[in-house]
Structure 1
């Protein structure tokens, strides 16, 4: 929350004193919140969201980076007690979103360039086998088996197999 509050305050160009005044809270309280040492109440956060003219959720839900990559073995793995089974959450679905799931079989050759999809589209991909160059057109990444990436699908993006038999599991999220 600390980074979100500071980012929104900077975005609207308010000083610490001015935002505290508009929200009806002490400047020291706001300073503690922005430094990550405060523990705000829901009322304080609502007052700040009103003073900043942003949705409450923007202050409590951390900003998501435009591109996220998890390499195989990264992420919080949760093992089963009863089977040789481990689940790793790669990305949670935001409220009011829809996801379509695809399996892509891609062979080396010309890259697949995709134009922007509908506004609010995010693509999530996991490399099941092979290697691929995938992501935003201006900054694609090389990924291998088990690697995960998410990137804006509402901006131009590419996918190119770097090895024969490349298989990608792709989820398109629409908000």
Structure 2
């Protein structure tokens, strides 16, 4: 007996949209995709219209025929545009410096990077301990002036300037002007 997806938490609208999206992305007709997956064209047509109850095996066959993982057919698509308004997002303040970091985007398991918005005011500066070996920091100054980099060789940056350095050694951030703002991209090994 072939097992099918439960109707209680109906994934059918997600599956229907995913099949249409991936078939169109691959440039395949209903007939060609059905042939490649070894299913009836009428079955595929029903699935794309949100009807029917596809088995796991049917979805695996369709995924293979489309060249996509099974998960892409059953997981809802995340929005293509994500907005975090100024002043929103998880913000963490430093203890001993006028330094705050707002996480804008955490990396996925395949893209090991995080993006932060830094707001820094003139003070004694913030000394950062070394991160994981192989960590790299990319910094772009949006406003103000900043002294940053490894403790042994800091650099001064102004609006639009970019610097990258190993985050796996002690480093610092020091605002040289009030209202200093920078974007930090942290790459993790």
User: What is the TM-score with the length of structure 2 in the denominator?
Assistant: 0.41
Per chain length, whose mean CA-contact separation is higher, i.e. which structure has more relative contact order (CA < 8 Å, sep 6+)?
A: 1
User: What is the TM-score with the length of structure 1 in the denominator?
Assistant: 0.45
Which has the greater radius of gyration?
A: 2
